[in-house]
Chains A and B, each alone.
Chain A
Amino acid sequence: MRRIATTLILIFIASVIVSAQQLQVSGIITNSHNNKPVPYATIGIQKLNLWAISDFRGKFSFSKIPMGIIEFEVRCLGFRTQTQKLNTEANKFIVVALQPENLKLETVTVTATEKQEKGTKSLINQQAMQHIQPASFADLLQLLPGNTSVSTKMSQVSSIQLRQAATDNNTALGTAFIIDGIPVSNNANLQYIPNSGNNDKIRGRVNVTNGMDLRSISTDDIESVEIIRGVPSVAYGDLTSGAVIIKRKQGISKHKFRIKSNLKQKLLAWSKGFTISPNSGVFNFDLSYLNHTSDPSNPLEKYQRINSSLRYSNNISLFNKPLEIKTSASTIFTIDKEKVDPELNYNQPDYYKSDYTRNSLGGSALLKINKNWLQQIELKLRGSIVNTKLVRERIVRPVGPTPVPQVGVIGVHDSEYLPDVYLAQSVVDGAPANLYSALIFSGQFPFIPWINTFKMGTEWSWDKNLGKGEQTDPSRPIFPGSWNVNPRNFSTIPSIQRLSNYFEEQITIPIKKHQLKLQAGVRTITPLNISSKYYLSGKTFIDPRINLTWKMPTLTIANKPVSVNWHIGTGWHTKLPVIAQLYPNEIYRSIIQLNYYSQNPDLRRLNLYSYKKDPTNYDLKPARNRKFELGLRIKYNKASLSITAFDEYMSSGFTSRRTYHSVKYTDYIAGSVPSTGLTAPPALSLFDYKVKQRLFNYSSTANAAYMRKQGIEYTLKLPKWKALHTTVTINGAYFKTRYDNSLPVTYKPSQVINNEPYPYVGIYSSSRSSKIYRHFNTRFLLETHIPRLRMVATTSLQSVWFKNHNNLKTDKFPISYIDAAGVEHPFTSNDANDLLLSYLVLKFPKQYLEPDKTPISMSLNFKLTKELGNQLSLAFYVHNLLDYNPSYKNKYGGTVYRTASPSFGMEINIKI
């Protein structure tokens, strides 16, 4: 005990000594072009986690800076981000001259920059965005290793996919989007029409459990994007797969106009950053409009988007301490619609339309205390409300006489047949609202002998849908046969609330000439406001995460420096279920007992037996993903190679799972009562009947999705080939993704034998949908930049060497089966010989296990950006300029023909 006390005292004394060595450093930011001061530039010292903003005279200062070499990173809207070192032993003042961002500069960055430190990520700056010419955030994803350039189809929801060879909802749901430090939530979305049929216009437009719709994120207000695929800092939570950190423009700029046009899209954007007076702070304003037509010849299918935001930031002082405030008000408005041409539809309505308006208001205040233990306190607040309305309307002509249930009635009751023609309408009124608040403390532990910073935060979020829900007449369904329509008022559903706490420490440890950078933290997440019936109630989930970078000493080979960095990261990531998964709607089911559709309309009678089921899964747990990654980065002279191997494992992903139950009802035989002589619908007692028992099912959300993502991402950047002004970058990835079920699965053959539907359900230990997908690609990117011509062109040869997937062998026999009475029986070897039970035996033919291979696919894409003076810049692209997509034989012997058609577009950027 005494020894510990002595140690503590020693540490305290040491910390006093260390702190005594700390200095005050100041500086000025200037514009290299005209030597004028640059206000509102952000100056950061990464390893100390310190940030400052230059004032209107371009000045800034930091206190508590240790002795030694300090690296400043300076970013400012319209300027190239610059890093500069200062040896504080010799100097306490620094001048950073920023270069205005244009193509006259020797170095420009028009692709993503890969970083491994603090979790593998891709950084995308404004110049790159201008060069890609995106219509929405989805277009930026083509820059990630392993992703291929695809033309985004804006008539359907676009979801993010990371490090995978196939697509799934869990990745999209588990990727957090953080805009200006505050996460955007889609946790309360309920916009869909239940049982709307697979081929309806609503298909591909439902975004309830798959995260952010990338279409709605405009890129015109974005200054930079960080897409973290590795292990993100514990400051980011409620995620399983990745984090997208978006920083919006902040700073003074001219009027910027962007006009983009291609066959399908027209985009107009305007942005401006300005001040009213020197000390007023800076205002940033932007407005953009996008119009997307899926098929240029069909004006009836459209996606339109208007984004607008006004942001304000300023440095003021509070209790003599600098206080940075940022506020923003944003609006997104989108319309997604598809209509059947009335001229082809006998002038009758048949359309889908979804309006979406999201208004948000938020801000943050960062107070710099500048004490060792507590350097800054940040408070973040934001509220957003979405008003969204989905309308599906059409004239329905049933294909023949069709029964319709009465929704909301339980027990035995009569119902009716649908009219010959009717107008069906369903309006889904949703209003997902979100509140977010966070309080973050950061500082350093002076007793740790190395440079270190810590961050400690607490976050609270609230999501609730305030909408009126689905408004429809269940007796006039959009699709005859959709019997589970059960309108509910969304505002009756409880809110979901999350409370998170985190603590993270970053330490830089020099060991001789080596350097270890450690980022380690723990995050907890606790669901609040949840009934004790749920497993989640009262539980706290803990995510420990760690990133370690080992910087080896720089060597010299053939007079050129070689630097080697190793990176290792691992951690747990938790995503809590969203409202649609926690609070599914009650299911009403009706079974026809008498279907007496007499030729005489007066005698018709439809009798039903109806009951109710609650599909809520009270045992629902969060989806948890474990990540591991190992990276290596070698820099030799001006060439660099980085390789990252990763392994992600999740067995509790959300998926929909069927549950079977047995129902007993009376089947009255219509033919047993002749209609002759009747004057009114016959009484049930007149009929011959059979008591029947059958299995029915409903779906509920379960933690049954198994996902394993493995792979290698690589980027090789060669030094500039001066004679050709060209830099060659080779990047790509090999992905292996396995999807499986982590809970037993069911299978019910759908057949009729001897007038009866197939009666049994087989239960299997492992999934039949178990599949492994593989994908290997390389992109050869030639970046030709001629500063004299103010021009940059990229030629990318995108090659997907192969893509394949195969089934995994699973059990042939079910473990058990459920009979029509709902009783579960073990499946014995004798059952395999039974005429009916043998239906449940699976067989794996040779083809089943063989991989389904897609051979090489190549395409050549070209993009060009040219500046005409300081005001005007033109950009142009051609996708699939050339392509090589040989036809091939699939494993079933069929020939698959592939085509890729070229597409092109251009845009103009004006700065006044």
Chain B
Amino acid sequence: MNKLKLIFTLAIASTFALFSCSDSDDPIPTSNVTLTIQLPEGVTVSDYSSFKADLLNQSTQQTVAGTISDQGKVTATVEQGVYDITITGKGTKTTTIGEGDEATNLEQTVDLRSFSENTSISGDAFSLSPSLFINIESSGWVIKEIYFAGSKTPEGKSYYKDKYIEIYNNTDKAMYADGLCFTESNHTNSSSLNKWENILNEAYVAGFIFQIPGTGKEHPVQPGKSIVIADVGINHKAINNNSIDLSTADFEWYEEHKLDSDTPEVPNIDIPFKASATITVLNIFGYKAYTIFKPSGTIKQFLAANKVVYTHPNSGKQYTYYKVPNNLILDAVEIGAEGAFNTKAVSPQLDLSYINVGTDKTKKYSKVIRRKIDKNVNGRVIYKDTNDSAKDFEANVDPKPHVFN
């Protein structure tokens, strides 16, 4: 036994010795890196001076800055190894709203970004064509919490008309919530195939679109305040002690359906689109992404311009959905369950990751995912918004609608 141990130790030691030898003796060869920037569709860049390219060596943690040419070519000479390559810059995005004579072109300056993780650079010359995507800055509106799993009654039965979402004004200015839309993704991220994958970097496809009514100046939200959109705006605790009080909800989604009820004290949200006429419940397992956006024109114009059709291969039926261009999205959060998460429902430029709520259903009942607090400025809470929900959110915490601490 002792003999065996000895041989083993020797073997390990000699391996280390071999590695350290090669480290110290030979200088690491270098590589001439050329990166050709690929711009997203509809985006033009007239001046690359705003661009920055950083190559982070993973073993040494040293960053080498690339040189950017006028044509958007990045060159650098780096030691061969594994790198994370980040490119940032500003571009001009042109969006067409409406069709034919009514068409208007909108131009906006957008932040562009690309991130090529774990890129192995080897050989004398190395080239890569990283695709840039539009990087959304925090808009001001953020999704603060989502109560998606519903609850269980004391008898262990499902209760799920108590679901809600809370949207927060993360700025220091009052904003109007009129026209703000809340959506759930059509794609279920536990599925291995996203039928909308080919457009994922430009748009996100909604399973429903709920819109806050109003002419534009009807629903002001003060800095540090929120609006709660509930399924049914009542005190659910009166029915199910494991639930919550949603009688102070700002809006509710009422559907003309024999399983729904309409609370007159809470105004109804509009339903511009719902992929199915069945009753809407947020995905109980948390296999969906949620976004908020504001259409640039009226919702009718928006729908007319953003129709996408999916043909069911088995029935030949065409299902109409509506896409939301990524640049309109104000905030997105993808919920997922480890082990069940397969394909992203929103582009990584909107949410780099997903908030893992786990696969244990019991842990999700009566719980929410909630955005973490970044800082507190003069008593006003600012929530963390880095478009990376794994870092920005906490999973399975107690609901606190309209409470900010």
Q: Which residues of A contact B (CB under 8 A)?
A: 345-346, 348, 395, 397, 399-403, 405, 417, 420-421, 480-481, 483, 590, 592, 595-599, 667, 670-671, 673-675, 747, 749-755, 757-758, 768-769, 807, 810, 835, 838-839, 841-845, 847-848, 891-894
Contacts and interface: CB of A to CB of B under 8 A. Distances in A.
B370 to A, nearest CB: 23
A402 B259 contact: yes
A399 B272 contact: no
B124 to A, nearest CB: 39
A401 B314 contact: no
A758 B261 contact: no
Given A768-B315, A768-B317, A480 B277 contact: no
B157 A397 contact: yes
A235 B264 CA distance: 69
23 contacts: A397-B153, A397-B155, A399-B150, A399-B160, A399-B161, A401-B261, A403-B258, A405-B258, A595-B254, A597-B262, A599-B247, A671-B267, A747-B317, A751-B275, A752-B255, A752-B273, A753-B273, A754-B303, A755-B271, A758-B277, A768-B317, A844-B311, A892-B313
Contact of B265 (A421, A675, A750): A675
Contacts of B363: none
A807 B278 contact: no
A460 B363 CA distance: 64
B contacts with A: majority SS: loop
B258 A483 contact: yes
Q: Considering the complex of A and B, which 4 residue pairs feature the smallest CB-CB distances, nearest first?
A: A400-B161, A397-B157, A597-B261, A752-B274
Contacts of A592: 256, 258
Nearest to A846: B313
A595 B260 contact: yes
A663 B303 CA distance: 28
Nearest to A750: B277
A751 B271 CA distance: 11
B316 A751 contact: no
A750 B276 contact: yes
A894 B342 CA distance: 14
A399 B159 contact: yes
Interface residues of B, number: 60
B262 A843 contact: no
Contacts of B264: 596-598, 670-671, 673-675
A405 B258 CA distance: 9
Given A750-B276, A751-B277, A752-B255, A842 B317 contact: yes
B258 A400 contact: no
A141 B5 CA distance: 65
B250 interface: no
Query: Which of B233, B239, B270, B276 gathers the greatest number of chain A CB atoms within 10 Å?
Result: B239
Contacts of B239: 400-401, 420
A757 B261 CA distance: 17
A758 B233 CA distance: 26
B316 A810 contact: yes
Interface of B: 150, 153-162, 192-193, 208, 231-236, 239-240, 247, 254-256, 258-265, 267-268, 270-278, 299-300, 303-304, 307, 309, 311, 313-320
Given A597-B262, A754-B272, 20 more contacts: A348-B155, A399-B159, A402-B261, A403-B259, A421-B153, A481-B258, A592-B256, A592-B258, A595-B254, A667-B256, A671-B268, A674-B265, A749-B320, A753-B272, A753-B273, A754-B273, A758-B277, A810-B316, A843-B309, A847-B313
A894 to B, nearest CB: 8
Contacts of B278: 750
B206 to A, nearest CB: 12
B232 A844 contact: no
B317 to A, nearest CB: 6
A835 B313 contact: no
Nearest to B277: A750
Given A674-B264, A754-B300, A346 B155 contact: yes
A769 B155 CA distance: 42
A475 to B, nearest CB: 14
A546 B192 CA distance: 56
Nearest to A676: B265
Query: Which of B156, B157, B236, B300 gathers the greatest number of chain A CB atoms within 10 Å?
Result: B157
A72 B260 CA distance: 75
Contacts of A599: 233-235, 247, 263, 265
A716 B271 CA distance: 66
Contact of A841 (B156, B270, B315, B318): B318
A contacts with B: majority SS: loop
Contacts of A480: 259
A572 to B, nearest CB: 34
B231 A400 contact: yes
A400 B311 contact: no
Contacts of B304: 835
Nearest to B269: A755
Given A345-B156, A598-B263, A671-B262, A420 B317 contact: no
A670 B262 contact: yes
Contacts of A847: 313-314
Contacts of A590: 258
B243 to A, nearest CB: 9
A681 B54 CA distance: 68
A893 B191 CA distance: 13
B155 A595 contact: no
A674 B263 CA distance: 10
Nearest to A847: B313
A842 B261 contact: no
B316 A842 contact: yes
B232 A843 contact: no
Contacts of A842: 316-318
A397 B193 CA distance: 35
A595 B315 CA distance: 36
A848 B262 contact: no
A598 B265 contact: yes
A405 B271 CA distance: 25
A597 B258 CA distance: 13
B307 A835 contact: yes
Nearest to B270: A755
Contacts of A402: 259, 261
B148 to A, nearest CB: 14
Given A751-B274, A755-B271, A400 B160 contact: yes
B273 A401 contact: no
A353 B232 CA distance: 36
B134 to A, nearest CB: 28
A489 to B, nearest CB: 26
B259 A481 contact: yes
Nearest to B279: A481
A755 B277 CA distance: 10
A810 to B, nearest CB: 7
A345 B152 CA distance: 12
Contact of B162 (A400, A807, A810): A400
Contacts of B153: 397, 421
Contact of B316 (A595, A749, A844): A844
Contacts of A839: 318, 320
A891 B263 CA distance: 47
Contacts of B232: 400-401, 597
Contacts of B263: 597-599, 670
A848 B273 contact: no
A592 B279 CA distance: 15
A752 B156 contact: no
A343 to B, nearest CB: 11
A395 B155 contact: yes
Contacts of A348: 155
Contacts of A420: 239-240
Nearest to A674: B264
B161 A843 contact: no
Nearest to B239: A420
Nearest to A839: B320
B311 A843 contact: yes
Nearest to B243: A400
Nearest to A667: B256
Given A595-B260, A671-B264, A673-B264, A400 B159 contact: yes
